[in-house]
Amino acid sequence: MTTARPLRVLLADDEHLIRGALAALLALEEDLVVVAEAASGPEALAMALAHRPDVAVLDLQMPGADGVKVATSLRAELPDCRTMIVTSHGRPGHLKRALAAGVRGFVPKTVSARRLAEIIRTVHAGNRYVDPELAADAISAGDSPLTAREAEVLELAADGAPVAEIAERASLSQGTVRNYLSSAASKIGAENRHTAVRLARERGWV
Amino acid sequence: MTTARPLRVLLADDEHLIRGALAALLALEEDLVVVAEAASGPEALAMALAHRPDVAVLDLQMPGADGVKVATSLRAELPDCRTMIVTSHGRPGHLKRALAAGVRGFVPKTVSARRLAEIIRTVHAGNRYVDPELAADAISAGDSPLTAREAEVLELAADGAPVAEIAERASLSQGTVRNYLSSAASKIGAENRHTAVRLARERGWV
DNA sequence: CAGCGCACATGACAAACGTCATACGGTGAC
DNA sequence: GTCACCGTATGACGTTTGTCATGTGCGCTG
């Protein structure tokens, strides 16, 4: 059993420093081999199709397309490839999106390389792994109490646009927009739409 | 000249994965030795005092105290130790703050490890190094047109607090607060304080 | 089918906000 | 020593928001 076929890994992260360092560390693991690296979402996708890795380790924030988008495409185009997300900022919403996209591993960058290698093996074996802390956050954040429209309007309000502009962009009357913003804010427990936007962001509801 | 005293490096980054990987890569450089690692601002400070490194490589965002704060303290307590900042999100304002704190190197995490090693040597030699792209951003963002008070009030407005609360926290009258917010927004070219906050953030003015 | 929740709307009122004029004391520059 | 700019303040004005009541129509679900 010493000559098992090595586990082929794709590494995608826009930070060269991290990516290179990670590749070096994973190379120390005998059963892992990094077959491709990418610095952007589209590049990750292209690399995956070219090299057909067993596991794709994706950074959440990358130029072009974020980790979850890449995972979604990968699921369609390369179903045998397991995907996992590594991230610095673990927002509850991201985790939820990721799991919905078929991602099987979700870990913060605070883990050690050894641990990451273990998790890569876990994921490859067909199991899932979600960082317990992030999972707890996601659960405690709960599901969004917002209706689809409320969320949409809140999102349009995100950059501080006045009601008139939001109304126009959403093709709604100004009164309706105010109603939605008001009910969204009260559901969230914020005193005004701006704090509502911030809180919704933090909880991954927008 | 082969047995020169090695260059002693302190590594501070809250992401274990990155920090470990970085340490491993820097260890490949013959003339560098990582003498200490830290995962938070205070820890970095303590480690520096205990191990007296030649160069401290600090992540910008860390729990406890950010890289710039650590650099400031270090400058006072360990003047011989050069400091440099490594960061993922290079906002213009951070660079300015960092240079003011006596930081001698400022690089994004997109550089390669080899390059980082070179820069560590540059910094140790007493020179400065600032990533050209970040420098260009900082220059094009220009200086803040805001007065000290305007910036302060704008910062208090950052989380969407109403004027009354800002006034209380700044010990100002509500009218004054509104005046400041109004003039700050007009200087920035924003239509209201919320977009003003956002733009000021992007330009590193708060 | 009756009831419920949602999308969407209107009108009205109070509170918050943005803007402007005006004022006065302090500080630094010329 | 005047001039300009800043910090601070007030009062007044119109506009934008937040909130509420109320209404219509639609699609589920019991």
The predicted structure's pLDDT at residue B18? 85
Report yes or no on A2 lying in a domain: no
E-assigned strands of B27-104?
A: 32-38, 55-59, 82-87
Residue whose token pair is 């969230």:
A188
pLDDT digits (tens, 9 = 90+) for A21-32: 888 888 889 999
The reply to whether the CB atom of residue B175 sits less than 7 A from any atom in nucleic acid chain C is yes
> Of B98, B113, B140, which marks where a domain is finished?
B140
CATH code of B41's domain = 3.40.50.2300
Residue A136 and residue A152 in one domain: no
Q: Report whether pLDDT(A83) > 80.
A: yes
Residue B88 and residue B156 in one domain: no
Residue A7: phi and psi, rounded to 5, are -85, 120
Residue B131 and residue B158 in one domain: no
CB contact under 8 A, A111 and B159: no
pLDDT tens per residue across all 206 residues of chain B: 556 788 999 999 988 888 888 888 888 899 999 999 999 999 999 999 999 999 999 998 888 888 888 999 999 999 999 999 998 877 777 887 788 888 999 999 888 888 999 999 999 999 999 999 888 877 776 677 788 888 899 989 998 899 999 999 989 999 999 999 999 999 898 889 999 999 988 887 87
CATH code of B198's domain = 1.10.10.10
pLDDT digits (tens, 9 = 90+) for A128-160: 999 998 888 877 767 778 888 999 999 999 989
Task: Round the average pLDDT of chain A to a whole number and report it.
Answer: 89
Report the length, in residues, of chain A.
206
pLDDT digits (tens, 9 = 90+) for A87-118: 887 777 788 788 888 899 999 988 888 899 99
Residue A155 and residue A116 in one domain: no
Residue A161 and residue A135 in one domain: no
Does B112 lie at the interface with A, CB-CB under 8 angstroms?
yes
Residue B21 and residue B89 in one domain: yes
In chain B, what residues touch A16 (CB-CB under 8 Å)?
A: 109-112
Report the gap between the CA of B78 and the closest CA in chain A (Å). 27
Does B109 lie at the interface with A, CB-CB under 8 angstroms?
yes
Report yes or no on A29 lying in a domain: yes
Tokens representing residue B72 in the block: 């400031």
Residue B125 and residue B162 in one domain: no
> Of A94, A124, A140, which marks where a domain is finished?
A140
The predicted structure's pLDDT at residue B2? 55
Q: A196 CA to D26 C1', in Å?
A: 29
Report yes or no on A181 lying in a domain: yes
Q: Report whether pLDDT(A1) > 70.
A: no
In chain B, what residues touch A197 (CB-CB under 8 Å)?
A: 160
Amino acid identity of residue B183, one-letter, is S
Report yes or no on B95 lying in a domain: yes
Report yes or no on A172 lying in a domain: yes
The predicted structure's pLDDT at residue A141? 66
Q: What gap in Å lies between CA B56 and CA B156, rounded to an integer?
A: 32
Report yes or no on A1 lying in a domain: no
The reply to whether the CB atom of residue B162 sits less than 7 A from any atom in nucleic acid chain C is yes
When mean pLDDT is compared across A3-17, A28-42, A179-193, B49-63, the lowest value belongs to A3-17
Residue A125 and residue A184 in one domain: no
Report yes or no on B88 lying in a domain: yes
Residue A115 and residue A163 in one domain: no
Does B89 lie at the interface with A, CB-CB under 8 angstroms?
no
Q: What gap in Å lies between CA B203 and CA B96, rounded to an integer?
A: 11
Q: Report whether pLDDT(A3) > 80.
A: no
Which residue range(s) make up the domain with A14? 7-140
Residue A33 and residue A127 in one domain: yes
Q: Report whether pLDDT(A2) > 70.
A: no
Report the length, in residues, of chain B.
206
Report yes or no on B171 lying in a domain: yes
Residue B38 and residue B56 in one domain: yes
Does A128 lie at the interface with B, CB-CB under 8 angstroms?
no
Tell me which residue in B17, B86, B193 faces A113 most closely, judged by beta carbons.
B17
Residue A117 and residue A164 in one domain: no
Q: Report whether pLDDT(A45) > 90.
A: yes
The predicted structure's pLDDT at residue B1? 54
> Of A89, A111, A140, which marks where a domain is finished?
A140
The predicted structure's pLDDT at residue A52? 94
Number of domains forming the structure of chain B: 2
